[in-house]
């Protein structure tokens, strides 16, 4: 994090600003805060989420921070309010935010403090590597105050919040870095740095090993680029006697470090943001790196197939057939539908380890953006228990998802005349669902959920804990899912007709 955050039961003697939470309707969260309603109305402060009011109070500033309706108070509301506070205090060197009024008990102290740290970390994130001049942020330290009885629990929440904020920042850094510098080889180097720091196992397959391991989908996409591909596998073993018998969860992330569309070339405008097509792989690396710090108690395998998708004389041509890791063949009719090709191999590898569950995260389809917009990810899968677990984790993490169906009758839409399947359906069809159904072909009977983050992986606006550019969406959801994981078992609960039991 760019800001040092601490917990205390009393504000420091010397602090530049003190923040107080205010509910919508100008209702102070704590009894000791008096409001001048006339001034609040004059300056359009009503306590709504995202609002703040700065005013002098003695030798420091008083920051009033809108939380929204008291009836809607949640960790998400706290996260947003803390982000609003950090933005309002950005010109102060030190600041204090009083959380005591919204903390009731030790468990609440931990979750509220964690959410506040996540909000502060997100709001103060900066990516300035490529700027010749950058004014340093003034805010360098924040103290969160809680009741003395809740301080110990709050410290635990602080540590978890810092780990999550750092993981999200790492994912944002990876995605924000231009494709010329964040190549598949560089992704592998970052994975090694993360593995060394977090005590993870790591294997990296180069182009020769990728071909030798029959990863035909990944190699088919990679062969048009001068940059060699990499298949990154990270592994996490929980500490303690139960680690060896703990369930295993596999996380697979799409790692297209630049997507030109291949020979099915995108437009110039369509390529502008395509350095972010490795957001899923960034989630995998960042989330695996935070498993130990957040106390994850399941075994985790993280797989990131990384490559560029470029046009050249050696590129896969429309009409070519690729043979994937599990032996299934795909007729490639559009080389810009490449994410499902690399994920096919990643998912097949994950299934070979017979995990309790498989999750994949990918900026997969524009169709999902059309359906759900830029703030909500689509989630689909072959197991109702796992999909529900992802939904619950996403809600707690403050990363909204929406369950989309996988109608088995739609499989006919990607039937091929010459191969097991083709990589697209007809124009104007259910693109996000077809992509999900194609991925399902590679998970066997393992419970599996697919999270399409094509919309929320990037943002054009500064808002709450988001900064323009990469969002790191998915990191908190994955870590929350792993932290609260309940064994699902196998096989997946799809009925024979494809409906979910």
Residue 379 sits at φ, ψ, to 5 deg, of -130, 135
Q: Give the CA radius of gyration of the chain.
A: 24
Output the six-digit token pair for 260: 């030109």
Distance of alpha carbon 264 from alpha carbon 316, whole angstroms: 10
Candidates 192, 214, 223, 266; catalytic one: 266
Residue 21: closest CA among 70, 87, 76: 70
- Contact 322/220 with Cβ under 8 angstroms? yes
Distance of alpha carbon 325 from alpha carbon 347, whole angstroms: 9
Those residues whose C-beta lies under 8 Å from the C-beta of residue 212, and which sit 6 or more positions away, are: none
- Contact 366/243 with Cβ under 8 angstroms? no
Distance of alpha carbon 64 from alpha carbon 54, whole angstroms: 6
Distance of alpha carbon 96 from alpha carbon 12, whole angstroms: 8
Note if 340 is an active site residue: yes
Output the six-digit token pair for 397: 């993490």
Burial state string for 115-125 with b = 16 or more CB within 10 A and e = fewer than 16: bbbbbbbbbbb
DSSP string computed for 66-83: EEE-GGG--HHHHHHHHH
Candidates 340, 396, 446, 476; catalytic one: 340
Place of tokens 């810009």: 336
Query: CB 93: neighbour CB atoms within 10 A?
Result: 13
Q: Which residues pair with 167 in a beta bridge?
A: none
Distance of alpha carbon 393 from alpha carbon 294, whole angstroms: 15
Q: Is 109 helix (H, G, I), strand (E, B) or coil?
A: helix
Output the six-digit token pair for 12: 């420091």
Distance of alpha carbon 26 from alpha carbon 51, whole angstroms: 11
Q: Which residues pair with 21 in a beta bridge?
A: 65
Q: What is the signed CA dihedral for 427, 428, 433, 436, rounded to 10 degrees?
A: 30
Element (H, E) at 287: helix 279-290
Those residues whose C-beta lies under 8 Å from the C-beta of residue 330, and which sit 6 or more positions away, are: 217, 321, 322, 324, 341, 344, 416, 419, 420, 421, 422, 423, 438
Distance of alpha carbon 311 from alpha carbon 335, whole angstroms: 9
Note if 446 is an active site residue: no
**Active site (catalytic) residues:** 266, 340
């Amino acid at each position: 994090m760019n800001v040092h955050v601490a917990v205390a039961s009393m504000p420091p003697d010397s602090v530049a600003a003190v923040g107080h939470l205010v509910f919508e309707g100008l209702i102070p969260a704590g009894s000791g805060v008096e409001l001048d309603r006339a001034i609040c109305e004059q300056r359009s402060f009503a306590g709504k989420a995202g609002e703040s009011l700065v005013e002098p109070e003695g030798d420091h500033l008083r920051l009033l921070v809108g939380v929204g309706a008291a009836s809607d108070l949640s960790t998400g509301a706290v996260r947003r309010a803390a982000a609003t506070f950090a933005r309002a205090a950005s010109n102060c060197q030190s600041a204090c935010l009083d959380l005591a009024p919204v903390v009731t008990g030790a468990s609440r102290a931990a979750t509220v403090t964690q959410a506040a740290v996540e909000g502060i970390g997100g709001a103060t994130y900066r990516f300035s590597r490529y700027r010749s001049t950058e004014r340093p942020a003034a805010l360098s330290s924040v103290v969160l105050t809680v009741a003395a009885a809740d301080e110990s629990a709050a410290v635990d929440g602080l540590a978890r919040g810092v780990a999550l904020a750092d993981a999200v920042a790492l994912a944002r850094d990876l995605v924000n870095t231009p494709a010329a510098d964040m190549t598949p080889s560089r992704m592998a180097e970052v994975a090694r740095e993360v593995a060394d720091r977090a005590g993870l196992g790591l294997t990296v397959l180069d182009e020769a090993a990728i071909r030798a391991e029959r990863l035909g989908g990944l190699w088919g996409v990679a062969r048009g680029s001068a940059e060699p591909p990499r298949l990154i596998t990270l592994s996490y073993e929980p500490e303690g006697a139960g680690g060896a018998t703990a369930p295993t969860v596999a996380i697979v992330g799409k790692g297209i470090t630049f997507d030109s569309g291949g020979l099915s070339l995108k437009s110039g405008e369509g390529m502008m943001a395509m350095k972010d097509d490795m957001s899923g792989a960034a989630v995998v690396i960042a989330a695996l790196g935070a498993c130990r710090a957040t106390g994850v108690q399941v075994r985790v395998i993280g797989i990131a197939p990384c490559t560029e998708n470029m046009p050249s004389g050696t590129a896969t041509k429309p009409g070519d057939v690729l043979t994937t890791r599990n032996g299934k063949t795909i007729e490639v009719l559009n080389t810009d539908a490449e994410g499902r090709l690399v994920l096919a191999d990643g998912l097949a590898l994950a299934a070979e380890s017979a995990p309790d569950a498989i999750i994949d995260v990918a900026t997969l389809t524009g169709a999902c953006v059309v359906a759900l917009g830029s703030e909500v990810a689509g989630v689909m899968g072959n197991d109702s228990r796992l999909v529900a677990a992802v939904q619950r984790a996403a809600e707690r993490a403050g990363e909204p998802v929406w369950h989309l169906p996988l109608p088995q009758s739609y499989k006919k839409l990607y039937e091929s005349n010459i191969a097991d399947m083709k990589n697209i359906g007809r124009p104007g069809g259910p693109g996000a669902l077809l992509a999900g159904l194609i991925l399902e072909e590679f998970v066997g009977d393992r419970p599996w959920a697919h999270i399409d983050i094509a919309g929320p992986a990037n943002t054009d606006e500064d808002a709450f804990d988001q900064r323009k550019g990469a969002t790191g969406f998915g990191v908190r959801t994955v870590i929350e899912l792993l932290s609260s994981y309940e064994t699902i078992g196998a096989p997946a609960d799809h009925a024979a007709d494809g409906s979910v039991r």
